[in-house]
Structure 1
Amino acid sequence: MSCQTGLVLALLWLMLLYLAPAKGESEIPPRAFLLLHPSWSTTFQGESVKLTCMAVPSSEKGPITWCHNNNVWKTKSEEIQIKDSGYYQCKTQRSHFSEPVHVEFSSDEVILQVSPHPIFEGDDVFLKCQRKSGQLNKATYYKDEKILQSNYSDTIKLFSVSRDSSKYSCTAFWKTMFSILWHKTSKPLKLQIQELFLPPVLMLSPRQPNEGDPVTLTCETRLPPQKSHVQLRFCFFKDGQRLESGCNSSQEIQIPTMRLEDSGSYWCQAEAVAYKIIKSSSRLKIDVLRIPVSDVNLETRPPGGQLIEGENLVLICSVAKGTGTITFSWHKDGTSVSKKTQQSLLAELLIPTVKMQDAGRYYCVADNGGPILSNRKEVTVRGLVSRPVLILRTPRHQAVVGDVVQLHCEASKGSPPIWYQFYHEDITLGNSSAPNGGGASFNFSLTEEGSGNYTCDANNGLGPQRSDRVSLKVIVPVSDIVLSLRAPETQAMVGDEVEIYCEALKGSPPILYQFYHEDMALGNSLAPMGGGASFKFIVTTEHAGNYSCEADNGLEPQRSEVMTFNITGPCRSRAGLISAGVTGGLLGVLGLPVAAILLRHFRTQRKLGLSAPGASSPSDWQEPSFSRISSTPPQEHLYDGHPAFIELQPIYNNVNPEGLNMVYSQIQSSQPRNGNSANSPRMCQKDKEPVVIYSELRTACCDDSSQQASNHQEGDTEDYENVPRESAVLDH
């Protein structure tokens, strides 16, 4: 390879430097450089100069290529000795050829030497006027034939030289041995000054920016290895204005986002402050391109667009391509929802706390010069069920065992389908569903355990909601009515206080108990908390007969079985019987006012001779006894305000029946009633046989023989005599 080829390669390297891509995209090999020793570029003929080829990195091993004028050779040595004038260059395997250095071996008497070598612009340079032999007395230095300096020193210093076409020379003065002053002028010499750094090249990455792209501007230049310590400062300009980044030691600046208005003419400037050397790059025209939006896509978060009321919905609108400022807009069912303008390929819209009305079909539009629509997304919003309302429906005002009750549960809000669960005291009764929303019902039949609190749950898969409690009291009809004797516990004498006890074994309180003697109401008693009730009376002869009780809690009243009260005792007068019976019954049952009226009635009867003959006194009575019989419950209810025995009629007195030890026997008949007996006159029932109750009184004071004789004399064909007695109620 000739030296001319080396020069071409050097020029090519300069071109590559200017055309090279930005830093990091490719790497341009550095240039080698030559060192001279001695460092004078001109020397006398016959002397020699050592050339050293240097490259970066200096540790590189391999053959060195040398070039002298048109001759090229290679050697392993990085140093050579030269004695011939000409242009010298060198290169290593990893470097370009160095800049050519002209070395002159002169045969002149006087030469001008320049040091050091190589010389870079801005360097201080020494000029030495040198005589081949002998000393100089004086020297004068010229620049372009103009005197620079004249002194008695053989060396002068030029400060901060620059690259120009000036030529330097010198005139040497010396004296001969005969004291003759001689002088001689050197050949003109042009300083070989190399650039401290090449004019910078503005590099752009990417080379063709699109709107919205980030761009890196690099002011590319290099210092020679010998001047690597020199500090450079870089500035960037656009259309005559310095960019906001200013000037600093960084070779590059970043423009985060290019816009259409960023198009223009750019250049950069490199400055070696210490050397006062400023170099500018060529201008670079940058045209920012706008890419239309394309492939607009809408996504939802959460994915699928299925939300629960109260959650947050995010609509993400993105484009695959598109530069610059893009306007994003969101639409629901054709109606605009929101709009954003930004320099981004993606935009998000937050819809917080979605409601049922936020459901629908959404799409977005991206526009940077032409609107493009996205795909459509269906957004569904499922509403949480609200707290349901439980309605309890009964067929009557009060719920009764056996009634069919309906529980209706309904949540006013909530996405269908809704599942309803029904509870009694937190125990599941059943369930029902509402596929299309609304409420649901559950029917069941009430039992005795049906009282308590009822609730329901509504659930559509998003969490259950429970209703308020609804209380229900179930009334149990009275049943299993039991009438029993409570006092006395052993035996009762005439005049004793007797207590009868009535109890409904089943039934909801409060229970009203009504006591009857031969279907005549004796009185009543209320059991507010349930249980039974008692009725007390003083035993008299009129208390013999059938007793029953009735229990009523507002539903159908129930009657107990009949309990029969049989009384036996000593002989006493009829008047005494009537007086004792009426007095005891009235005072024990009806009270003093009614008893007084009835006593007057019984005295009138006694005066008219209606008393039974042979009646004994109350002191002759023996204790009464009770026995149970089963009878059909009476058809009629209570007689309010009447004594128990006023319904007993007629009364027959039996005189000495069949010769027994009996003063008399008393027969009472209880007439059946239809309708309200209290308000209708008493009539004899000829078509129905009356219920006959016998009350026998034995005697201890009359002997058997006389009684039998008496009975025999009274009649031969009949066993006893029936003496009718008018009822007190008829007289009353």
Structure 2
Amino acid sequence: MELFSQPVIRMNPNPVTEGDTLSLTCDTQRGRYGENTQLVFVFYKGKDEVQRSLSSEYRLPSVRVQHSGEYRCAAVTPDNRVYKASLTITIQVPELFSRPQIRVNPNPIREGDTLSLTCDTQRGQYGENTQLVFVFYKGRNEVQRSLSSEYRLPSVRVYDSGDYSCAAATPDNTVYKESPPITIQIPEMFSEPELTVSSNPITEGSALTLTCVITSSTVSTRELQFAFYWDGQELQGFTSSNQYQVYSVQLEDSGNYSCKVQHPATGISKASEVSYIQAVGGAVRPVVSLSPNWANILTGDWVTLTCDVGSTAGTAPRYSWYKDNEMMNNNKQTNRQSLIINNAKTTDSGTYQCQTDTSERNEPVSLSVTDGPLILQAPPYVYEGDSLAMRCYSESGGDTMFYKDNNPVAPTYGDILHMNQVNVTATGTYRCSKDKTYQTDDVFISVRASSNIPEELLIQNDVCVSWKAELGFKETSISPKTKKSIYVIVVMGISLQDG
């Protein structure tokens, strides 16, 4: 008598479709003598054992196409003395839909285009009425999940470049299929602009030209427009010109300048970095002053030379110092306005000049260092109306006498000769003596005529009359700060500016 009958393998559901839970049952009938016999059930796919247990059921949740194949089962006693196998059945799992492919339109694409990505999949015979959810990814980030198989990016930018993929899935996510990734590279329509400046710092009254430069472009520059800004305010709206000019720069035009480029058809715009432009006063000669204000000193003395450039210095000026036409400080500029000579030596004698980036060199100033017994200390020049002081200096004392053009002049007090509010008649050759024993060399002192025209003569009714060391006419421009037209007419060294 048989313990159990030959098993039969049964499937549920039948037919099965992708995503279903498939149940395979190994049915056998126990005989009279096998009612209490424990059985072990073995399931096979092809030649491979896929399950061995006391359960007569083998379940495959959410079957896929790859689960298709030949299946059979067997019932066997625990000691393996009785083994009976079922017949083989073939299970075909039809797919609901194919693996999607992501498609790009337009291809190739450029910056500013509207990018359309489509997740294409083909529904199978049993998936025609199956609703699908479509998911789009950029890299590992989900960017859209919806019932639409299309993902749109209007007016794409370079930063939209990257790897894209999509997936199609059933609403319960039991069937999920992802496309291979594709790489989308979006070339920029035009590069980020750079603002170039004709000169910086720029001298007051000079012409300033700003140019908005792009180094690469996939479109004609005729399709682009340019705008310019000063401290965030619009100087010139979008036009086809990539240049902006200020014909006569004013000091108040200093500030942060930038430009922007746009492609009107697509709305793409890019801004330059901000550039600070410094407007400085007209290039003039600086003035070097001595402290103490003596052109002659003895060895061992000290003197400080100071370079004064006024408004031409700009912000954080750099100074170059020259002695006898040779640059000092190892041919390097310095941020020090003063040159200090301590414990002077005869080798420190010479002519001194200074200069900044925005100025010329000053008129040479002579300094004489001597180790003689007596010197006449005096400034190299003074202006009309100034005071003039000179000293007959020696390391030893004695009675002092001054001479102007060989005529004796008594000291004002001690070894000092002091004159108030001098005029040009004080110009001449001076020397001094001590106890009629020592006498200095002659020193020529010049009293220079002062200008009767001040720097600014009149400000009335928004008209400024100012001194300009130039002759000619200036063109009209728009001041970025005041938005007023600037008219400059220069006649005989006097310029009229009408704001």
State TM-score, norm by structure 1: 0.28
Higher fraction of helix: 1
Higher relative contact order (CA 8 A, sep 6+): 2
State TM-score, norm by structure 2: 0.38
Bigger-Rg structure (1/2)? 1
